């Protein structure tokens, strides 16, 4: 995967996050725009976005929307589909070892709450909460929580999507 592809992917993930109802800071949008320019991605609105001040929220939002359109980034049809798309990506990243169970579990818990805490995600959410409250001096290893998160992630990815 090239650096430009990675930047397109990061911009798409931010757009999906916004559609899903996550709190995506304008500073992250500007930073992603700047990263894309540095990587060699070029659209008229991308240059505009990369040069904006993050406190100009309305202008950043508008420019980011134009960037998404100019790059032809495909987004899910609605907020629910966007939430499931994010969860699928995080499950995959955890199973592939690109995202820690602690970080992935926390993200899945956050977006799972936006979905109304579906039963299919409750195991990961429960293990994630236990991991979040883990004390470094605890004699119980983190694996006690991390392994079930990874196992449930793999199981969800093998089943129908989105899970019922």
pLDDT digits (tens, 9 = 90+) for 55-104: 888 999 999 999 999 999 999 999 999 999 999 999 999 999 999 999 99
Query: What's the whole-model pTM score?
Result: 0.88
pLDDT digits (tens, 9 = 90+) for 41-55: 989 899 899 888 878
Per-residue pLDDT, averaged over 126-132, amounts to 90
d(CA 159, CA 82): 19
Residues 6+ apart with CB under 8 A from 11: 32, 33, 36, 67, 68, 71, 73
- Reply yes or no on whether the pLDDT at 164 is more than 80: no
Instruction: Band the pLDDT of 153: cuts 50, 70, 90.
Output: very high
């Amino acid at each position: 995967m090239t650096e430009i592809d990675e930047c397109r992917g990061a911009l798409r993930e931010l757009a999906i996050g916004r559609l899903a109802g996550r709190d995506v800071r304008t500073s992250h949008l500007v930073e992603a725009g700047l990263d894309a320019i540095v990587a060699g991605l070029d659209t008229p609105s991308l240059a505009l976005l990369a040069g904006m001040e993050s406190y100009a929220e309305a202008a950043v939002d508008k420019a980011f929307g134009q960037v998404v359109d100019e790059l032809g980034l495909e987004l899910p049809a609605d907020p629910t589909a966007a939430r499931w798309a994010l969860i699928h990506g995080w499950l995959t990243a955890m199973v592939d070892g690109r995202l820690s169970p602690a970080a992935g579990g926390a993200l899945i818990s956050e977006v799972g709450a936006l979905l109304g805490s579906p039963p299919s995600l409750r195991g990961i959410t429960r293990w994630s909460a236990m991991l979040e409250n883990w004390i470094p001096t605890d004699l119980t290893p983190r694996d006690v929580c991390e392994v079930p998160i990874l196992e449930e992630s793999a199981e969800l990815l093998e089943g129908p999507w989105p899970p019922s």
